[in-house]
Structure formats: C-alpha cells, structure tokens
Amino acid sequence: MCVALPMKIIELQPESHGKVEYDGMERRVNLRLLKECGIGDYVLVHAGFAIEKVDRDKAVEQLRLLQELKQEFS
C-alpha cells in the first residue's frame, strides 16, 4: 500500500524542486511531474515526488483527518 501526504508548497527551488510543509515538518521534493504549481499550492507527495496538485479544501480536510488519526494513536 502506498501513501501520499498532502503538503503545502512553501518555497520554489531551482531544477524543478520545492520545499513543502506538513505538521511542522519540511521536506525538499521534486516538482517535475507537475505542469504548474506555486507557493501556497497543495500537492500529494510520495517518495520525494509531488505526484498531483490537489484542491486546497480537499487537502485541508485530509490533513484534518490525519490529525485525528494521530491523536487517536498517540
């Protein structure tokens, strides 16, 4: 089973890379698979690649559900 996390782009970097953030965690990811994306966009990240741009409301809802799961198992 593969899991892709919705993460927010906080910085664009050279060579089709960017910095994304989720729950205080920042990661450098490859944005090469996406046609267009920018700071503030939400993307699904899997194995270091942004694989899909997602609607902000959908991403926020998924992040809320992940927080609920995190609290349940903490």
The one-letter amino acid at 33:
L
Identify the pLDDT of residue 70.
87
CATH number at residue 11: 2.30.30.140
Model confidence at 2: pLDDT above 90: no
Host domain of residue 24: 5-72
pLDDT of 74: 79
Other Cβ atoms within 10 Å of 6 Cβ, number: 21
pLDDT at 1 > cutoff 80: no
Give me the torsion for CA of 20, 26, 30, 35, rounded to 10°.
0
pTM of the model: 0.90
pLDDT digits (tens, 9 = 90+) for 6-61: 999 999 999 999 999 998 999 999 999 999 999 999 999 999 999 999 999 999 99
How much of the chain is in helix, strand and coil states, percent to nearest 5? Answer: 25, 45, 35
Q: What's the number of domains the chain is made of?
A: 1
What is the C-alpha separation between 13 and 21, in angstroms, rounded?
14
